Structure 1
């Protein structure tokens, strides 16, 4: 059976079907407003989310600065940049900070990251939670006040723990499964809006 989103992505010029998940989230939450200029895209490859961010921002009269980050090298779409790195590495965090230093703090953190799935539900869930903690740490430190975070996760036992951590940082936290997600998939997204304040690492993970 042909995946309609995969087929449509070829017609629309997107690098993967993942584009339609972010397009749906933007329609619902208007992620790419006029004040959203500095964006980091974690788990960047193959670059479909950055394509969406560029298109939506430009359609709203904004010329964004977008940095993709991934473990594997990937050529960024024209108008964006890329660094190869590990979200758990301090060196990667420093590289992101250095890149945005002359441009100001982040307005939006995007993460479509996931480790290679094993097919064992709990293992995939816990691997996802570990990635999400790394993303949240970066977002809590680099997002400016009122900034936003969109982050993929695999559902399981620790969803509520992660949600409570997110609620320490953001005024509004939404759990969403876009229509473009496969029905059998356990993937969902946290859409976190309006960063409230700086939170120490100790408080965040207590």
Structure 2
């Protein structure tokens, strides 16, 4: 008989999974597997799943184990882990590119050892870190770090760039106090010498 260690709830964006932070991790893991077996083919393509951890702090290995269980189900596009302190977003990997089909909110972080493409906005207080390029199909107002492994050829582009901070490889640039007027043309940030340059993307 299953305990209340794992609770599934629906919301407007997808599914919320609440993990009891008082139970041992192995018990939670086994109950989560059982719940997925019971759910059968419930998960549709690109379903967003939020996992509420309460006061639980996952180790790197525990996080990998949970992600393995989620990804085995199929039909899950975005997995967001939320505890009492912060939020971390996982998304689909397409080769060397991570595709995130949603807006990244304040307090959320997206990290990937490759390129990151976000189909949405990046709000103030959110952070995106990639070892390759960062492409945002929306308004970028958070913190971006492209070329996190030292790749000076990495770029950051968005429909509109108004970041709190831009970083490419080891170079950092902060947003001006008064953002420039944008003509509605996508913008790209790249490294030129020791400086980060922002230009409009033109055909």
Using structure 1 for the length normalisation, give the TM-score: 0.28
Q: Give the number of the structure whose residues are more often helix, by fraction.
A: 1
Q: Give the number of the structure whose residues are more often strand, by fraction.
A: 2
Larger Cα Rg: Structure 1 or Structure 2?
2
* Larger relative contact order (Cα-Cα within 8 Å, sequence gap ≥ 6): 1
Using structure 2 for the length normalisation, give the TM-score: 0.29
